[in-house]
Amino acid sequence: MPMLHGCAFPGCSTFTLSTYCVEHELLVRAVKESERAQAADASLAADTALAADAALTAAAPEAAAS
């Protein structure tokens, strides 16, 4: 049988069945998702910058020749 215990969030004394109370469960989940989104964005930005560099390098000799 599940037991009620205090929320694991520092300073929060709300009793809950899960690790965090409903409020902090949502907060922790939102923080994790935003961190994941930022990591994905950074990876995507790096890929885009690399692709742009490659395209510029490939295009440069032709531009110089003509």
Taking the complex as a whole, the smallest distance from the CB of residue 36 to Zn ion amounts, in Å, to: 22
Site residue total, Zn ion (CB under 5 A): 6
Taking the complex as a whole, the smallest distance from the CB of residue 42 to Zn ion amounts, in Å, to: 30
Distance in angstroms (rounded) separating the CA atoms of residues 62 and 55 = 12
- SS3 of 13-35: CCEECCCCCHHHHHHHHHHHHHH
- x/- mask, Zn ion, residues 6-45, rule CB under 5 A, reads -x-x--x-x------x--x---------------------
- Contact status, residue 24 vs residue 9, Cβ threshold 8 Å: yes
Name the residues that contact Zn ion, by CB under 5 A. Answer: 7, 9, 12, 14, 21, 24
